[in-house]
Chains A and B, each alone.
Chain A
């Protein structure tokens, strides 16, 4: 089992729809959870982070965390073509490896007009 797994893509949604991206992780000691966006040929760019159970909203983005189920999700409302990118879920380890990020393989999102 991979340490961080994301829903297989690619994911294609029409402009204006809600895009739902999912991520599960195996290390129960994980402390913090991040969503990065990566455009083709570019470096990852932070969208949101979350460390408490529940929802966290920032503009069109909502991150959801359920530590009991070891599940993190990202919802993108009113999707725009400019949201088309690879979305990376990253989990920060706890304990002696605190700070190290483990990434999922990424989900490619395409928003079509």
Chain B
């Protein structure tokens, strides 16, 4: 399978617990994006990396959220002290960014988080 892989697919946690999600991008892609999607809404940008550098983080993103891409390959998204409002689908996407092309983003299957 050469697509974007996300793990776990579902996560149920209690309020106040920390959770971590993993994303493995398409191997030749140098950009990796995280989005969050709630029911009835389009995906909302959270952050993105080019190789291992985090280039932008949404202003809406609380300090409880942190993301890393330590070796420029897979990425993790951690949410500390989860709240019920964090319940959503967390989507990862990857693309190749270069001098040419539009950098089409391909999405993984997502991780559905439920905070009880």
Quick one: which of B42, B102, B105, B109 has the most chain A CB within 10 A?
A: B42
Are A49 and B102 within 8 A (Cβ)?
Answer: yes
Q: Tell me, yes or no, whether A42 is within 8 Å of chain B by CB.
A: yes
Contacts of A4 in B (CB 8 A): 42
In order of increasing CB-CB distance, the 7 nearest A-B pairs are A103-B42, A43-B107, A32-B102, A103-B43, A44-B107, A43-B110, A88-B42
Give Cα A43–Cα B109 distance, bound, in whole angstroms. 5
Return A31 CB to nearest CB of chain B, in Å: 8
The number of residues on chain B lying at the interface, defined by a beta carbon within 8 Å of a beta carbon of chain A, is: 24
Range, interface on chain A: 20 to 34
Give Cα A10–Cα B110 distance, bound, in whole angstroms. 24
Interface residues of A (CB under 8 A from B): 4, 31-32, 34, 36, 42-46, 49, 51, 88, 90, 92, 96-97, 99-106
Contacts of A51 in B (CB 8 A): 102
Of all chain A residues, the one with the shortest Cβ separation from B4 is A43
Q: Would you give 29 A-B contacts (Cβ < 8 Å), ordered by A? A: A32-B102, A34-B104, A34-B105, A43-B107, A43-B108, A43-B109, A43-B110, A44-B43, A46-B106, A88-B42, A90-B42, A92-B103, A96-B56, A99-B31, A99-B33, A99-B97, A99-B103, A100-B56, A101-B45, A101-B105, A102-B45, A103-B35, A103-B44, A104-B42, A105-B40, A105-B42, A106-B40, A106-B41, A106-B42
Are A99 and B43 within 8 A (Cβ)?
Answer: no
Mark out the residues of chain B between 85 and 109 whose CB falls within 8 Å of any chain A CB in the assembled complex: 91, 93, 95, 97, 102-109
Give Cα A92–Cα B106 distance, bound, in whole angstroms. 14
Of all chain B residues, the one with the shortest Cβ separation from A42 is B109
Of all chain B residues, the one with the shortest Cβ separation from A6 is B42
Quick one: which of A44, A46, A90, A106 has the most chain B CB within 10 A?
A: A44
Are A88 and B43 within 8 A (Cβ)?
Answer: yes
Contacts of B108 in A (CB 8 A): 43
Give Cα A107–Cα B24 distance, bound, in whole angstroms. 29
